[in-house]
Structure 1
Amino acid sequence: MFYPQYFSLFIFGITISMSGPLLGQMETAFQVDSAEIGLLFSFFSVGFLISVLLQYFGSAKFTLARSAVAGQLLHALSLTGFCVNPQYESALALYLLAGFAGGAIQISANAIVARQAREGRSFALSILHLCFGLGALSGPLLASVLVDRMLSWRWAYGLNAAGALLAFVWIWSASRGHIQLMNPDQEREGSIPWSQFRKEPLIALIGLSILLYVGVEMAINSWATLYIQARTSLDAALAGTGVSYFWAAMTSGRLLMAYASRKIPPALLVLLLTIFAGLAYFAFLHAETGFGVLLCLTLTGFAFSGLFPLYLGLAGGIFPAHIKQITAMAMISLGIGFMIFPWLVGQIKESANIGLAMQSLLWPLVCMIGLSIPLLGKRHRSAAAAG
Structure 2
Amino acid sequence: MSDSRSGLLFFLGFLLLSWGLLGAGIGPLLPQISDAFGLPLPLTGQVFLLWSSGFCLGSYITSHLLKRFQLSALFLSACLVASVAIFGLSITPSFFLFCFLYCITGTAGGIIFTSCHTSVSWFFPERRQAVLSFADFSFSAGTLLAPLLINIIMNSNYPWQIFFKAISFANITLAFLMIPLALTFFRSYTVERKVSPSTGEKTSFSLESDATGSKITLINYAIVCFSIGFIEWQQNVWLVTYAMSKGIPQVSANHVISLFSLGMLARRAGSMFAGKSQPEFRLVLLDDIILLGGISAILAGKGTAVLGAGSFAAGFALGGVLPIVMATAMASRPSRAPLLSTIALVMLTAGGLCSGIYTGSVAIYFSPDSALTAGLFVSVLLIISRRAFISALRGHSAACGGTGH
Note whether the superposition's TM-score is higher than 0.5: yes
Aligned residues: 380
- In structure 1, runs of 5+ residues without a counterpart are none
For residue 17 of structure 1, what is the amino acid of its counterpart? A
Deviation of 1:297 (Å): 0.8
Q: Which residue of 2 aligns with 1:4?
A: 11
Q: Which residue of 1 aligns with 2:228?
A: 213
Deviation of 1:177 (Å): 1.5
Q: Which residue of 2 aligns with 1:109?
A: 116
Measured in 1, the distance between the counterparts of 2:160 and 2:344 equals 33
Please, which of 7, 20, 30 is the counterpart of residue 23 of structure 1?
30
Q: Greater shift after overlay, 141-150 or 199-208? A: 199-208
Q: Which residue of 2 aligns with 1:51?
A: 58
Alignment CA distance shift 1:197-1:74 (3 Å)? farther
Q: Which residue of 2 aligns with 1:329?
A: 343
Q: Map 1:331-346 onto structure 2 (within 5 A).
A: 331-346=345-360
Deviation of 1:72 (Å): 1.6
Q: Map 1:279-318 onto structure 2 (within 5 A).
A: 279-318=293-332
Q: Which residue of 2 aligns with 1:158?
A: 165
Q: Which residue of 2 aligns with 1:266?
A: 279
| Alignment pair present for 1:358 and 2:372 | yes
For the 8 Å contact 2:62–2:115, the answer to whether it is kept is no
Q: Deviations over 1:275-317 (max 9, x none)?
A: 3212111111114112211221122111111111111101102
SS of 2:109's equivalent? helix
For the 8 Å contact 2:61–2:111, the answer to whether it is kept is no
- What is the RMSD of the two structures over their aligned residues, measured on CA atoms? 2.4
For the 8 Å contact 1:285–1:359, the answer to whether it is kept is yes
Alignment CA distance shift 1:194-1:90 (3 Å)? farther
- In structure 2, runs of 5+ residues without a counterpart are 1-7, 197-205, 399-405
TM superposition outliers: structure 1 runs of 4+ over 6 Å:
380-383
Deviation of 1:264 (Å): 8.4
Please, which of 218, 226, 249 is the counterpart of residue 263 of structure 2?
249
Deviation of 1:348 (Å): 1.5
For residue 172 of structure 1, what is the amino acid of its counterpart? I
Q: Deviations over 1:179-208 (max 9, x none)?
A: 44775655779x953526753632221111
For residue 308 of structure 1, what is the amino acid of its counterpart? L
For residue 38 of structure 2, what is the amino acid of its counterpart? Q
For residue 205 of structure 1, what is the amino acid of its counterpart? N
Alignment CA distance shift 1:382-1:216 (3 Å)? farther
Q: TM-score, normalised by structure 2?
A: 0.87
For the 8 Å contact 1:246–1:299, the answer to whether it is kept is yes
Measured in 2, the distance between the counterparts of 1:263 and 1:52 equals 27
Alignment CA distance shift 1:76-1:188 (3 Å)? farther
Measured in 2, the distance between the counterparts of 1:142 and 1:246 equals 20
SS of 1:361's equivalent? helix
Q: Which residue of 1 aligns with 2:90?
A: 83
Q: TM-score, normalised by structure 1?
A: 0.91
Deviation of 1:123 (Å): 0.9
Q: Map 1:120-269 onto structure 2 (within 5 A).
A: 120-180=127-187, 183=190, 185=192, 192-195=207-210, 198-199=213-214, 201-231=216-246, 233-259=247-273, 261-262=274-275, 265-266=278-279, 268=281, 269=283
